[in-house]
């Protein structure tokens, strides 16, 4: 409770963290950036004041999945509420707005959409009606939920839901994987690839196996949990599409056209992460790009908040340990101006 900004703890290295919560994306990105510059993990750990265990984990995950994002926290896998079921429910409701939940349940069984073992409970159906099928005004749109129209978010995680994924069972179905880059205050040159990159990754065909679930992700792009009136919404799905725009303009105008010392940006969430700006000023990135070996595309992101990696990262993929040797480097040496410590 109370888990508001202001609180955070300090680790042995003097870094601030919020127990139970992921490190801000800005820092995660920074970690990967530095690693790509050839900085040793132990040094990254010290410089960013993030435990080496964490650095290790984030880098390992990045190497394996191409994503810098934290895993999907909370919730549970859909057990009965499959996309197909939701769709049927929507259809029933549409056909008969006055239909009762129990009637829907019966129909699901009758129509063979579900069998008695996986048919949703009446209360589940009610919730589905409430949460996912609020207004039937816009029939189409794939599935439900107020999903962001276009670019906005980064569908990163999605459940490895068997039916929704490729038949081969291969995870990481389609999205090209990705990478990101951060550009802070520097002039373009990259803007084009930026756009292209985003487009590429937003390719709808890449995102959803089928209509499927809204990808679930821990979204820290919105980060300013508490204190930002204009930027609400804590987790991707409930965020209004416009937010993205807001963030953009914010970053470049109001807030901090220039993010102070790297990772601990002023725009960061949780006031707590705001500290330390001065500690490693010389590590400031001029903006480097993260390029993941697996990924063909590279994305230049105009601001930290949206600098994220995109690749489908099924839950199951995360826990596994299959180190992928990576030998990519200096794809980014082009851009950065830092090298000394």
Please tell me whether residue 218 binds DNA under the rule CB under 7 A: yes
In the complex, the smallest distance separating the C-beta of residue 115 from DNA, rounded to whole angstroms, is 16
In the complex, the smallest distance separating the C-beta of residue 232 from DNA, rounded to whole angstroms, is 13
Please tell me whether residue 318 binds DNA under the rule CB under 7 A: yes
Identify which of residues 39 and 207 has a Cβ nearer to DNA in the complex.
Answer: 39
Please tell me whether residue 60 binds DNA under the rule CB under 7 A: yes
Stretch that binds DNA, among 57-65, 98-106, 254-262, 269-277 (CB under 7 A): 57-65
Stretch that binds DNA, among 21-29, 169-177, 278-286, 296-304 (CB under 7 A): 21-29
Stretch that binds DNA, among 122-130, 239-247, 259-267, 326-334 (CB under 7 A): 122-130
Count, residues near DNA per rule CB under 7 A: 51
3-class SS letters over the chain? CCCCCCCCEECCCCCEECCCCCCCHHHHHHHHHHHHCCCCHHHHHHHHCCCHHHHHHHHHHHHHHCCCCCCCCCCCCCCCCCHHHHHHHHHHHHHCCCCCHHHHHHHHHHCCCCCCCCCCCHHHHHHHHHHHCCCCCCCCCCCCCCCCCCCCCCCCCCCCCHHHCCCCCCCCCCCCCCCCEECCCCCCCCHHHHHHHHHHHHCHHHHCCCCCCCCCCCCCCCCCCCCCCCCCCCCHHHCCCHHHHHHHHHHHCCCCCCCCCCCCCCCCCCHHHHCCHHHHHHHCCCCCECCCCCCCCCCCECCHHHCCCCCCCCHHHHHCCCCCCCCCCCCCCCCCCCCCC
Please tell me whether residue 274 binds DNA under the rule CB under 7 A: no
Please tell me whether residue 20 binds DNA under the rule CB under 7 A: yes
Applying CB under 7 A, which of residues 5, 52, 106, 232 lies at the interface with DNA? 52
In the complex, the smallest distance separating the C-beta of residue 102 from DNA, rounded to whole angstroms, is 15
Applying CB under 7 A, which of residues 78, 173, 209, 271 lies at the interface with DNA? 78
Please tell me whether residue 71 binds DNA under the rule CB under 7 A: yes
- Residue 316 · residue 160 · CB < 8 Å: yes
Applying CB under 7 A, which of residues 19, 137, 325, 339 lies at the interface with DNA? 19
Identify which of residues 190 and 311 has a Cβ nearer to DNA in the complex.
Answer: 311
Stretch that binds DNA, among 15-23, 245-253, 265-273, 289-297 (CB under 7 A): 15-23
Please tell me whether residue 327 binds DNA under the rule CB under 7 A: no
Contacts of 325 (CB under 8 A, 6+ apart): none
Identify which of residues 58 and 200 has a Cβ nearer to DNA in the complex.
Answer: 58
- Residue 2 · residue 38 · CB < 8 Å: no
Binding site for DNA (CB under 7 A): 1, 3, 11-13, 15, 17, 19-23, 28, 40-43, 50-54, 56-60, 70-81, 123-124, 127, 216, 218, 234-235, 237, 315, 318-319, 321
């Amino acid at each position: 409770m109370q888990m508001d900004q202001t609180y955070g703890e300090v680790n042995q290295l003097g870094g601030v963290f919020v127990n139970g919560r992921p490190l801000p994306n800005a820092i995660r990105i920074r970690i990967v950036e530095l690693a790509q510059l050839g900085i040793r993990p132990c040094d990254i750990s010290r410089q960013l004041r993030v435990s080496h265990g964490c650095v290790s984990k984030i880098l390992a995950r990045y190497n394996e999945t191409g994503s810098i994002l934290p895993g999907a926290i909370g919730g549970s896998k859909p057990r009965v509420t499959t996309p197909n079921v939701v769709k049927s429910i929507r259809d029933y409701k549409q056909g008969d707005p006055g239909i009762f939940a129990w009637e829907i349940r019966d129909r699901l069984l009758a129509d063979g959409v579900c069998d008695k073992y996986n048919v949703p409970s009446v209360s589940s159906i009610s919730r589905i009606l409430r949460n996912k099928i609020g207004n039937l005004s816009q029939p189409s749109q794939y599935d439900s939920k107020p999903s962001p129209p276009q670019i906005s978010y980064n569908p990163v995680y999605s459940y490895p839901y068997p039916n929704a994924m490729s038949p081969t069972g291969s995870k990481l179905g389609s999205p090209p994987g990705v990478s990101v880059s951060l550009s802070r205050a520097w002039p373009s040159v990259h803007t084009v690839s930026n756009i292209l990159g985003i487009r590429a990754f937003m390719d709808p065909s890449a995102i959803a196996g089928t209509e499927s679930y809204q990808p679930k992700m821990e979204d820290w792009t919105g980060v300013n949990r508490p204190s930002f009136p204009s930027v609400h919404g804590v987790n991707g799905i409930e965020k209004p599409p416009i937010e993205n725009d807001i963030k953009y303009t914010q970053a470049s105008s109001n807030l901090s056209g220039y993010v102070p010392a790297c990772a601990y940006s002023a725009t960061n969430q949780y006031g707590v992460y705001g500290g330390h700006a001065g500690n490693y000023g010389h590590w400031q990135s001029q903006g480097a790009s993260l390029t993941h070996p697996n990924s063909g595309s590279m994305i230049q992101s105009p601001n930290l908040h949206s600098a994220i990696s995109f690749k489908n990262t099924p839950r199951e993929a995360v826990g596994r340990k299959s180190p992928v040797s990576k030998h990519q480097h200096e794809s980014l040496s082009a851009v950065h101006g830092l090298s000394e410590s």
